[in-house]
Amino acid sequence: MLIDLPRFVNAERPHWQALEDLLKRFENDPDLRLPVDEAQRFHYLYQRTGAALSRISTFASEPELKRYLEWLVSRAYSVIHGKADRRRFHPWRWFTVTLPTTFRRRFHAFQMSVALTLLGCLFGVIALAIDPEAKSALMPFAHLAGRPSERVAQENANKGKNLDGHKTSFSAHLMTHNTQVAILTMGLGISYGIGTIIMLFYNGVILGAVAFDYVMDGQTVFLLGWLLPHGVIEIPAILLGGQAGFLIAHALIGWGDRRISRAQRLRAAAPDIVTIIGGAAVFLVWAGIIEAFFSQYHEPVLPYGVKIAFGCAELAGLIFFLWKGGTAPEPRG
Amino acid sequence: MEFALPLAGPLSRLMAMLTDLLVIMAIKQVIGIVKDVFVAVNPDSSQALEILLYFAVSILYAILCELLLDGQTLGKRIFKLRVVDATGLRLEPSQIIVRNLLRLIDGLPMFYLFGGITCLLNTKMQRLGDIAANTVVVRVPEIAHPDLDKILGSKYNSLLEHRHLCARLRQRVTPEVAAIALEALTRRDRLEARARLTVFAGLSAHFRELVEFPPAATESLGDEQYVRNVVEILYRAA
């Protein structure tokens, strides 16, 4: 196709500039809604620029111009063919409706997280039962190294004062560290889920080994009083991280969903992944506060019964929230 | 209609990332100063605030930038890069969040090793976060017009007399080869004599193969002048 290129560029440039200006408006305001006449003009400019790209594509001399037009057309294409129902983010609605409904919709992935953690727990229990010497390998943490009864005596003697002056920073440390663990558990889903499986299993091993160690040493009540208040939120939050990780893995593998491409599957899964990991982060903020300001107090400062009851109430609230949250109440009569 | 976007190279992405790292370090420096001011009032709370803000900046900097600047961080803006959806659709906020949360994995075991290796091995230059979010990082092109008068000079172009052959040449030369020829002329003074002869001989042979001009129009032309004439046909004499 023969065209007088300089004249063509000069004639078309104002249209390209107009399209670019409109695209900038969309970029500055993702919720922009154009009036009908402007929308028609936008579509016209898109088509005109697309036509210019087709004409220039057979022309050898202007690779930069071709790239520029491709860039314009691709941006306009993404605006025209993008989601039309982009809504403003409402945090309360997201937390009370989107999170629990997404959780339920993707429940299979959560079940897998729970199953792997329980499997890890079982392994931790059996491993410690068979070989008590393996304790340092199974629980490589200094505060868990000694006998549980010694720790309980020490904690009771401290009366929760060992964290005086550090509770807030300890809480912040817990929040950030646990959130990183949840993100890591999610992110490892990119290894087709293998990394997520290992993370969940390993967490389960530690949990099972610690529980077995305390139970065998006769410290079951202390264990429940210590772990339940924050653990009933913290552990499900890590499981949510695993759930999000399995969503990535599922989108990569495409089991039962191979009619659409991997790219489409990943794009479709992204909102659910973000919702679930966001929910995990919120739960971990709560767990961090509870662990620093509540869990560290033991008898005689706080009776174990109160701590256990508090933990049970939290668990019941969490289950109710995830099971019933976001569902409209039944109409009366 | 088909369109393609130029992928950002690993070096420009690395430079953009280092720039962002500097920005993050500067923000953290400011947080440290603020913390030092408040540490006398309440050491525990100021320490907690520092931990939380450090974490928030590390995680949220790139997410917020890419959300607010339509796929660009400050580093990407400086190096003219942009994150886009790999299938050409509109970039969704969830994609931005996923690709940036997975930086944690890309950064493993250290110095972005996983992400760097994946990026180099992937045909779309995607790091793990990009794969999970179905995004790619592209270069933002600008219209650049070379100074043709300076490059081409003002010698008589004998090929221009054969307008139908010039038109055929314009049709047959690919944009990439045209750009290489222009680049060769732009950089000719920086090439060693032998390298210059080799480059122009190769280009000239390629162009002569594509379209055969009458011997009368080409017999007095050296390889470099032949390429110069072809570039003039492609870039100026439409």
Is the pLDDT reported for residue A212 higher than 70? Answer: yes
Can you say whether residue A228 is alpha, beta or left, with left for phi > 0 and alpha for psi between -120 and 50 degrees? alpha
DSSP state of A162: G
Chain B residues lying within 8 Å of A54, measured CB to CB: 1
Higher per-residue pLDDT: B204 or A10: B204
| Identity of the residue in A79, A166, A248 whose CB atom sits nearest the CB atom of B90 | A79
Counting Cα atoms < 13 Å in the Cβ hemisphere of A36 gives 0
pLDDT for residue B1 is more than 70: no
pLDDT tens column, B38-91? 888 889 999 999 999 999 999 999 999 999 888 999 999 999 999 999 988 888
Across chain A, mean pLDDT equals 88
Using the predicted structure, report yes or no on whether residue B238 has a pLDDT greater than 60: no
Residue B228 has pLDDT above 50, yes or no: yes
Q: How far off is chain B from A209, nearest CA to CA, in Å?
A: 27
**Mean pLDDT lowest for which of A256-265, B9-18, B54-63, B229-238?**
B229-238
pLDDT of residue A329: 65
CA B127 – CA A120 distance, rounded (Å): 31
Number of C-beta neighbours around residue A40 at 10 A: 11
Instruction: Point out the domain boundary residue: B139, B168, B203.
Output: B139
Task: Give yes or no for residue A6 having a pLDDT over 80.
Answer: no
Query: Is B152 within a domain?
Result: yes
Range of the domain at B163: 148-235
Name chain A contacts of B85, Cβ cutoff 8 Å: 78, 267
Which pLDDT does position B148 carry in this prediction?
65
pLDDT at B158 over 90: no
pLDDT at A234 exceeding the cut of 70? yes
**Residue B91 and residue B206 in one domain:** no
Distance CA(A214)–CA(A211), nearest Å, equals 5
Q: Is A254 left (phi over 0), alpha (psi -120 to 50) or beta?
A: left
Tell me what percent of the residues of chain B surpass a pLDDT of 90: 50
Q: Residue B101, exposed/middle/buried by CB under 10 A (0-12, 13-18, 19+)?
A: buried
Question: How many Å apart are CA B22 and CA B117, to the nearest integer?
Answer: 23
pLDDT recorded at residue B144 = 57
pLDDT digits (tens, 9 = 90+) for A267-304: 999 999 999 999 999 999 999 999 988 888 887 788 99
- Say yes or no for a CB contact (<8 Å) between A190 and B91: no
- CA-CA distance, A302 to A318, in Å (whole number)? 23
Regarding predicted confidence, which is higher, B207 or A11? B207
Q: Quickly count: other Cβ atoms within 10 Å of residue B44's Cβ.
A: 18
Residues B108 and B57 in one domain: yes
| Whether residues B132 and B154 fall in one domain | no
Which residue, among B143, B164, B169, would best test binding to A if mutated, counting the most A CBs under 10 Å from its CB? B143
Task: Write down the pLDDT at residue A58.
Answer: 65
CA separation for the pair A133, A219 (Å, rounded):
19
Query: What are the contacts of B38-44 at 24+ separation with CB within 8 A?
Result: B43/A165, B44/A165, B44/A166, B44/A167, B44/A168, B44/A169
Do B165 and B228 have their domain in common?
A: yes
Looking at every residue in chain B, the average pLDDT score rounds to: 88
Q: Does B1 fall in a domain? A: no
Residues B28 and B57 sit within 8 Å (Cβ to Cβ): yes
Q: Is residue B40 part of a domain?
A: yes
Query: What does the alpha-carbon distance between residue A197 and residue A188 come to, in Å, rounded to a whole number?
Result: 9
Question: Would you tell me which residues 14-73 of chain A have a C-beta closer than 8 angstroms to some C-beta of chain B?
Answer: 27-28, 30, 50, 53-54, 57-71, 73
Q: What is the ipTM of this complex?
A: 0.85
* Radius of gyration for chain B, computed over Cα atoms and rounded to the nearest angstrom: 26
Cβ of residue B29 closer than 8 Å to a chain A Cβ: no
What are the residues whose beta carbons fall under 8 Å from the beta carbon of B232, sequence distance 6 or more?
Answer: B148, B152, B157, B160
pLDDT digits 0-9 by tens, A139-165: 887 777 788 888 888 887 877 677 778
Q: Are residues B152 and B205 in the same domain?
A: yes
Residue B108 DSSP code: T
Shared domain check, B152 and B121: no
> What's the number of domains chain B is made of?
2
Confirm if B229 and B153 have CB atoms less than 8 A apart. Answer: no
Nearest CA in chain A to B101: A183
Domain boundary at B106, B139, B172, which?
B139
More confident residue, A202 or B220: A202
CB pairs under 8 A between A and B: 172
Verify that B18 and B115 share a domain, yes or no. yes
How far is residue A210's CA from residue A287's CA, in Å, rounded to a whole number? Answer: 19
Structure tokens at A204: 């389960």
Query: Are residues B219 and B132 part of one domain?
Result: no
A62: nearest CA in chain B?
B175
The model's confidence at residue A327, banded by pLDDT at 50, 70 and 90, is confident
Are B105 and B216 in the same domain?
no
Q: Which of A1, A42, A71 to mutate to test the interface with B (most CBs of B within 10 A)?
A: A71
Least confident of A191-205, A287-301, A310-324: A287-301
In a domain, B3, yes or no: no
State the average pLDDT over residues A71-91. 79
B117 touches chain A (CB under 8 A): no
Nearest to B185 by CA among B236, B235, B154, B231: B231
Work out the pLDDT band at A1, boundaries 50, 70, 90. Answer: very low
Strands (E), A164-309: none
Residue B4 domain-assigned (yes or no): no
B132 and B175 co-located in one domain: no
> Cβ separation of B51 and A172 shorter than 8 Å?
yes
Same structural domain, B16 and B117: yes
Q: Which of B85, B110, B139 is the last residue of a domain?
A: B139
Cβ contact (<8 Å) for A172 and B52? yes
Give A202's contacts (C-beta < 8 A, 6+ positions apart): A120
Above 70 in pLDDT, residue B126? yes
Angle of CA points B155, B158, B163, to nearest 5°:
125
Chain A CB within 8 Å of residue B92 CB = yes
Of B61-65, B124-128, B138-142, least confident by mean pLDDT is: B138-142
**B33 and B93 fall within a common domain:** yes
**A48-57, A58-67, A186-195: least confident range:** A58-67
| Of residues A115, A120, A113, the one with CA closest to residue A240 | A113
A160 close to B (CB below 8 A): no
B5: in domain: no
* Of the candidate ranges A14-18, A314-318, B62-66, the one whose mean pLDDT is the lowest: A14-18
